[in-house]
């Protein structure tokens, strides 16, 4: 039977918490438990050995404890709560009932180990901003799709086609499953890097990734966005906003506005016609 470990991270401040939670969400974590002074992450033993070499844990004290075998599906179900995004859409797991509030876009999600459940500030902000963007009849590029939550919302908002990529195999598999259970038929999802992706002039690009990838993508992403198109970015810490904006402005993007939730920012940019 598979063995699991719990890693108890002792945190100094909320910035450290925000960065750790974001990195954990991209590192194959099975479950995360938030407490006042620490965060407990649960990994398979083998997955933890791989993840700890990729996580930036400098300055973070942590303890690793081997845990007893238990029903991990039940544990995940107990920790996954539905999310109401500004009375606009409702994100829930398959075992949750639909929202009692009428008129919300219903999104069913089984995140498994992929990032993007609307619980994280970055995903929440991306979805909030999508409410204000015209998707009907548009073609969308979801760069780093994770669970495909943004692709699913784009289709439900009327997009004509969505192309989603992620470098992680398990994310792509999960994205395809989530698209299927939501009845989506306009999403194509593939395991690729940006460099491996054929260029196409999309109307909208959605990129909820991290600072390093966003900085490296400022120039090549222009080859995927049509004149007058919209670029929505998140995965940006508050103190990194100017750095990211400078990189994109240098490539000819126009800053529209940004919003903040917790320590994170979401930025809307455009390309002039």
Is residue 18 within 8 A of residue 263, CB to CB? The reply is yes
Q: Which residue has the tokens 């009907």?
A: 136
Of 231, 265, 251, nearest in space to 133 by CA: 231
Beta bridge partners of 269: 231, 255
Of 271, 273, 245, nearest in space to 258 by CA: 245
Residue ranges for the binding site?
123, 144, 166, 208
**What are φ and ψ of residue 15, in 5° steps?**
-65, -45
Measured torsion, CA atoms of residues 192, 197, 203, 204, in degrees rounded to the nearest 10: 30
What the block records as the tokens of 47 is: 């997955």
The pairing of beta strand 264-271 with beta strand 38-44? unpaired
Q: Is 113 helix (H, G, I), strand (E, B) or coil?
A: coil
Residue ranges for the binding site for S-adenosyl-L-methionine?
123, 144, 166, 208
Determine the Cα–Cα distance for residues 78 and 6; give it in Å rounded to an integer. Answer: 17
88-125 core/surface letters (b: 16 or more CB in 10 A; e: else)? bbbbbeeeeeebeeeebbebbbbbebbbbbbbbbbbbb
Which residues are CB-neighbours of 100 under 8 A, at least 6 positions away?
Answer: none
Is residue 11 within 8 A of residue 20, CB to CB? The reply is yes
Beta bridge partners of 202: 225
């Amino acid at each position: 039977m598979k063995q699991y470990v719990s890693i108890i991270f002792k945190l100094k401040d909320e910035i450290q918490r925000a960065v750790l939670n974001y990195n954990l969400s991209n590192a194959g974590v099975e479950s995360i438990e938030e407490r006042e002074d620490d965060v407990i992450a649960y990994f398979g033993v083998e997955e933890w050995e791989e993840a700890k070499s990729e996580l930036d844990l400098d300055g973070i004290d942590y303890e690793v404890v081997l845990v007893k075998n238990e029903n991990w599906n039940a544990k995940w179900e107990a920790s996954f709560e539905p999310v109401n995004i500004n009375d606009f859409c409702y994100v829930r797991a398959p075992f949750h009932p639909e929202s009692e509030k009428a008129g919300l876009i219903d999104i069913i999600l089984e995140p498994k180990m992929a990032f993007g459940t609307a619980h994280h500030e970055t995903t929440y902000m991306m979805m909030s901003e999508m409410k204000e963007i015209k998707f009907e009849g548009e073609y969308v590029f979801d760069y780093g799709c994770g669970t495909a939550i943004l692709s699913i919302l784009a289709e439900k908002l009327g997009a004509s086609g969505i192309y989603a990529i992620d470098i992680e195999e398990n994310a792509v598999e999960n994205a395809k499953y989530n698209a299927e259970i939501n009845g989506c038929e306009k999403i194509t999802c593939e395991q690729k890097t940006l460099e491996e992706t054929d260029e196409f002039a999309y109307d909208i690009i959605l990129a909820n990734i991290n600072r390093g990838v966003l900085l490296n993508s400022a120039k090549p992403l222009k080859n995927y966005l049509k004149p007058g198109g919209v670029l929505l970015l998140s995965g940006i810490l508050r103190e990194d906003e100017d750095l990211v904006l400078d990189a994109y402005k240098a490539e000819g993007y126009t800053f529209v506005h940004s919003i903040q939730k917790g320590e994170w920012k979401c930025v809307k940019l455009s390309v002039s016609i």
